[in-house]
């Protein structure tokens, strides 16, 4: 679990690390909660035990943690780090897209473990870059890899996560944002029609309402309800049995329905626009990473011109955004690994 970014990420405890320890890492999201126990030494991170849980089936994250502890009672973690989908403030977080409140103090009391860290899930994804190698990425655009500078991560899944990695000239310092909840910015007449449609449903239309999983189905419904695109009977039936957004994206990939193809083209176009926004705001000349649950499933669409052409469609800064290497993160355990790395080598 080592690659070229390993020494470039800022880990405050790495240099003084002189023993192995057990770290419980977690990736806590609106859909799934993934937990894993790692044995960490100065130059190695070894997986000991892992499990995955459907978040909505449990009253709280503490319930899941207790179940996980009971599975391997002999193995006692010395530190806990959870990457959580929401803004962490003073060790507390309200999970976005899930009615959970999580407090690091409650975890300490329940577990008897003093070193408990909660970090944002996109911050965890940023730290997880330390664990990835070349096979964990697909290139969309080579850019100028040696340019250096800040990096950015955008991650559409159940919600929309965004984060940055500040480059101090020697190390990368990950930091979270809640940029997915900033306002969607319509540009064309078509965009304004979509905005109006979504505003009636949500009142406030953020980027998360457009380029997260549920947004795929909303774009499809807009095309059918407002633009009067035809909906096939077999799709209606499929929607009643499976997640509509997943059905739409898969149907587009298989070229089974023109409206699904149009939906995903729009989703990718908007993802490209907000990716460019993020790069410009972060001045992320060091690289842009597409993470989360959706990009690895639609790599063939993201590699087409629709993404890169719309990514370049900005105001006078094409010369800057062209320099930025763009990669898709394929490893679906990146946030979990990042939580393990932070739990072992970071934290204060």
Which domain CATH number covers 324?
Answer: 3.40.367.20
Q: Are residues 120 and 166 in the same domain?
A: no
Distance in angstroms (rounded) separating the CA atoms of residues 29 and 26: 10
Q: Are residues 309 and 210 in the same domain?
A: yes
Q: Are residues 69 and 103 in the same domain?
A: yes
Q: Are residues 339 and 326 in the same domain?
A: no
Half-sphere exposure of 315 (CA within 13 A, CB side): 4
pLDDT tens digits, residue range 92-109?
A: 998 877 788 999 999 999
Q: Are residues 197 and 325 in the same domain?
A: yes
Which of 134-148, 205-219, 245-259 has the weakest average pLDDT?
134-148
Across 258-280, average pLDDT: 98
Across 170-176, average pLDDT: 93
Across 220-236, average pLDDT: 97
Whether the Cβ atoms of residue 26 and residue 81 lie closer than 8 Å to each other: yes
Output the six-digit token pair for 31. Answer: 């859909």
Output the six-digit token pair for 76. Answer: 């006692």
pLDDT tens digits, residue range 315-333?
A: 999 999 999 999 999 999 9
> 152 in a domain, yes or no?
yes
> 4 in a domain, yes or no?
no
Taking 80 as the threshold, does the pLDDT of residue 236 lie above it? Answer: yes
pLDDT tens digits, residue range 1-57?
A: 433 444 488 887 665 566 789 999 999 987 889 999 999 987 788 999 999 999 889
More confident residue, 73 or 81: 81
% of the chain with per-residue pLDDT over 70: 95
Which domain CATH number covers 57?
Answer: 3.30.420.40
Bridge partner list, 172: 9, 167
Task: Please give the radius of gyration of the chain, using alpha carbons only, rounded to the nearest integer.
Answer: 21
> 162 in a domain, yes or no?
yes
Whether the Cβ atoms of residue 126 and residue 174 lie closer than 8 Å to each other: yes
More confident residue, 43 or 159: 159
Which of 6-20, 232-246, 287-301, 326-340 has the weakest average pLDDT?
6-20
* pLDDT value, residue 300: 94
Which of 58, 49, 65 has its CA nearest to residue 30?
Answer: 58
% of the chain with per-residue pLDDT over 90: 80
Q: Are residues 102 and 240 in the same domain?
A: no
> 309 in a domain, yes or no?
yes
Q: Are residues 306 and 179 in the same domain?
A: yes
Q: Are residues 79 and 115 in the same domain?
A: yes
3-state secondary structure of 30: coil
Q: Give residue 348's pLDDT band: very low, low, confident or very high (50, 70, 90).
A: low
Distance in angstroms (rounded) separating the CA atoms of residues 108 and 45: 23
Q: Give residue 178's pLDDT band: very low, low, confident or very high (50, 70, 90).
A: very high
> 249 in a domain, yes or no?
yes
Q: Cα 60 vs. chain centroid, distance in angstroms? A: 21
Computed over every residue of the chain, the mean pLDDT equals 92
Q: Are residues 236 and 164 in the same domain?
A: yes
Q: How far is CA 168 from CA 131, 173, 289, in A?
A: 21, 8, 19
> 186 in a domain, yes or no?
yes
Residue 43: give the domain boundaries: 21-129+333-345
Q: Give residue 284's pLDDT band: very low, low, confident or very high (50, 70, 90).
A: very high
Element of type H or E holding 22? strand 21-28
> 5 in a domain, yes or no?
no
> 120 in a domain, yes or no?
yes
Q: Are residues 99 and 159 in the same domain?
A: no
Question: Per the structure, how many domains does the chain have?
Answer: 2
Q: Are residues 142 and 228 in the same domain?
A: yes
Q: Cα 3 vs. chain centroid, distance in angstroms? A: 20
Element of type H or E holding 34? strand 32-41
Whether the Cβ atoms of residue 75 and residue 49 lie closer than 8 Å to each other: yes
Q: Are residues 59 and 140 in the same domain?
A: no
Whether the Cβ atoms of residue 165 and residue 151 lie closer than 8 Å to each other: yes
* pLDDT value, residue 1: 41
Which of 180, 149, 174 has its CA nearest to residue 162?
Answer: 180
Whether the Cβ atoms of residue 334 and residue 291 lie closer than 8 Å to each other: yes
Distance in angstroms (rounded) separating the CA atoms of residues 322 and 308: 10
């Amino acid at each position: 679990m080592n690659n070229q970014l390993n020494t470039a990420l800022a880990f405050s405890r790495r240099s003084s690390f002189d023993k192995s320890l057990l770290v419980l890492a977690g990736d806590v999201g609106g859909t799934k909660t993934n937990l894993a126990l790692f044995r960490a030494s100065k130059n190695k991170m070894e997986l000991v035990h892992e499990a995955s849980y459907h978040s909505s089936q449990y009253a709280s994250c503490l319930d899941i943690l207790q179940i996980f502890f009971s599975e391997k009672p002999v193995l006692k973690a010395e530190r806990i780090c959870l990457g959580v989908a929401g803004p962490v403030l003073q060790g507390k977080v309200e999970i976005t897209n899930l009615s959970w409140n999580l407090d690091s103090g409650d975890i300490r009391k329940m577990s008897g473990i003093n070193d408990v860290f909660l970090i944002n899930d996109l911050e965890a994804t940023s730290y997880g870059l330390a664990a990835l190698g070349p096979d964990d990425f697909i290139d969309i655009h080579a850019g100028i890899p040696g340019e250096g500078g800040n990096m950015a991560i955008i991650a559409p899944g159940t919600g929309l996560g965004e984060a940055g990695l500040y480059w101090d000239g020697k190390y990368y310092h990950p930091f979270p944002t809640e940029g997915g909840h900033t306002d969607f910015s319509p540009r064309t007449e078509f965009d304004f029609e979509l905005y109006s449609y979504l505003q009636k449903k949500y009142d406030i239309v953020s980027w998360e309402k457009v380029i997260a999983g549920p947004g795929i189905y909303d774009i499809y419904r807009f095309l059918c309800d407002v633009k009067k695109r035809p909906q096939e009977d077999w799709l209606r039936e499929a929607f009643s049995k499976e997640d509509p957004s997943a059905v739409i994206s898969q149907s587009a990939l298989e070229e089974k329905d023109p409206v699904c193809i149009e939906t995903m083209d729009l989703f990718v176009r908007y993802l490209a626009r907000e990716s460019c926004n993020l790069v410009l705001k972060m001045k992320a000349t060091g690289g842009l990473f597409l993470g989360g649950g959706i990009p690895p499933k639609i790599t063939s669409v993201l590699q087409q011109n629709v993404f890169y052409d719309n990514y370049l469609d900005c105001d006078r800064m094409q010369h800057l955004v062209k320099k930025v290497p763009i990669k898709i993160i394929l490893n679906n355990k990146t946030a979990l690994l990042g939580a393990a790395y932070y739990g072992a080598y970071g934290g204060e």
